[in-house]
Chain A
Amino acid sequence: MLLDVRGETCPYPMKKAIEAMERLPIGEVLEVLVDHPPAIDTIRMAANRYGFRMDVEPAGSGEWRIYLRRDTMR
Chain B
Amino acid sequence: MKFAQFVSSYTTGDAVSNSARNLGEVLSALGFETRIFADHVHPGAAKDVYLTAKFNPHQWDAVLYHFAFASPIAEEMTMWPDLKRYILYHNVTPSHYFRGYDEHSREACKNAREQLYLLKDHIDCAFAVSNYNAAELKAIGYKQVELMPIWFDSKLNEAQTDERLQHRFDDGFVNFLFVGRLTPHKSQHDLLKVFYLYKTYYNPNSRLLLVGSGQEKYVSELRSMILQLKLKDVHITGHVTDSQLATYYRCANVFLSMSEHEGFCVPLLESMNFGLPIVAYDAAAIGETLGTSGVKLKTKDPRLAAELLHEILTDPVLKTALIQKQYERLQQFQLEPIKQKIIDSLGKAGLPA
A, B in one complex:
no
Q: Give the B-binding residues of A (Cβ under 8 A).
A: none
Q: Give the A-binding residues of B (Cβ under 8 A).
A: none
